[in-house]
Structure 1
């Protein structure tokens, strides 16, 4: 699983982040993204996690991600760019686009998002907007 935090000012977080991935056959149950340093989700960061599941989830449908807003001050909010999940056995890859704040004081005030699997057209449009913003 690859997690990309956005480049916006203050986009990183020290809040506790949880997720659940749902597939056609099963789901992961609630899991937490973390490491011992507590600094995983800094602005513009890309981090990889190995996720073990006891059975094949099947074709992935959606990912539910949230945090507890426990970071202090500006570290409470998080700007999530996207999450990509790759099945190391089948090599199937699923991208969940967010490109929004998970924050009580920004955007729509929500600290949880349900992200459907993005199709090819969503990915092309997303990357086109990123390139336009840079140029």
Structure 2
């Protein structure tokens, strides 16, 4: 009986260490990706948008994209805002092609793009679990 208890305790400790090791590994990978991407910033994103910063927030790799001339409140009220968000959600898969992101695909990391205006007011934020990089999104329906 004592042998079974010892084996059970040893097994429980081994499982806990493996789980903890996975968390540390994801964090190390996130920090490495952050460091590699940060070295390339600031970088143009699209038209007047600029990717300014990258941070790690828990298991999220957050890329901050600024619109130096935009106004978040007015943009959120504009016609087509939801379509813009959907378009950016699909475009988030483009991050999957980056070598810095490839190391995160088998982790619990979440890729995030945070869009802010010149006053740091949030337009919107989109996210994608890195594991989904292996399953690209379906093409959007064709508008008549």
TM-score using structure 1 length: 0.35
Larger radius of gyration: 2
| Higher helix proportion (structure 1 or 2) | 2
TM-score using structure 2 length: 0.33
Larger RCO: Structure 1 or Structure 2 (Cα < 8 Å, ≥ 6 residues apart)?
A: 1
| Higher strand proportion (structure 1 or 2) | 1
